[in-house]
Amino acid sequence: MNELIATIHFIGLCLFTTAASEIAELRVLLPRVVWSLPTVIGPAEGTSAVSHPDGPADVETHTAFIAFRKIDRKTVTGWVPKPMPGQPDYEYIVLSGETVTFERNAKNRVPKKPDLPRLLSCPGSKLRSNVAGPNASDVAATFVLNYGDTSTCRSLPHGHHPPASRIDTKLRLNNTGTLTITGKAGQTTRTLTVDGGATVYVGNLPSKLLRSNPVPIREGSGAHHLAYYGMFTNDPAAAACEYQRLADDAASRGRCGIVDFRFGDSADPPPLEGFKHAINSDCSNSSWP
């Protein structure tokens, strides 16, 4: 049987790390980001609440999901596919705390940690237990990457100009005709099987992208990469313990190619009104340590 190559394209708030596994296995943590209504009303705009005690303030609500073309879907159990608003050829499933793995039905190499912008944390800081532990309540999903080829690429969001590009990651998986994606949460197991040549998008993006009838809603305006801060044990707000996002210096990194326009790539048709700036350079993938 001829082998095919499936592509998993990670977009948005996705932290690539080997520190969440006792055997230094490469994993991708998608932080759970939920913006709350203001708890303190000021004279003008008010101030926003945070999603959890150590989390970032004023970052809009995100949804973690897997998107795919309807014609690529073979079977699905446990998850409920929904139509992608404005994209009649696509469906998506929402992730809610699953640990996700990919079926190994062909020979693949052990993946290397991708060349991503790196988050610097305070000395001695660690991933918090509710992010990397067995009861990781503050992640929307954890992807286990124990095989495949990883690469990074640059995507220029619609309405932006260099150097305001976004960094995404692609995982390529050899397979024998189909790719099965399995998500486990507690005692519940869910599966999605797609065509072996499919491109599947893993997104952790603003929830407004998935609204059928989007309306202007003011909910969090902070830089999206601040959502990474709450994943560590030390307080990122402390002056002596400030997290930094390193500048991306991989000038030779290639373009990601055609990306569905609802994910903000300028190579595609203009997005629907209101989505022009929904995905920006703050939504880049990152790595740690």
pLDDT per residue as tens digits for the range 74-88: 999 999 999 988 778
pLDDT at 237: 53
Whether 140 and 126 have beta carbons less than 8 Å apart is answered as no
Cis previous bond, 163, omega within 30:
yes
Higher pLDDT, 107 or 260: 107
Segment 203-208 mean pLDDT: 85
Model pLDDT for residues 241-264, shown as the tens digit of each residue: 555 555 555 554 666 765 544 443
pLDDT > 60? residue 199: yes
What pTM was computed for the model? Answer: 0.83
* Token pair listed for 172: 């390529």
Tell me the average pLDDT of the chain.
76
Amino acid at 76: V
pLDDT at 133: 77
pLDDT bracket for residue 172 (50, 70, 90): very high
Strand partners, 66: 93, 202
Tell me the H-state helices in 85-208. 129-132
pLDDT > 50? residue 40: no
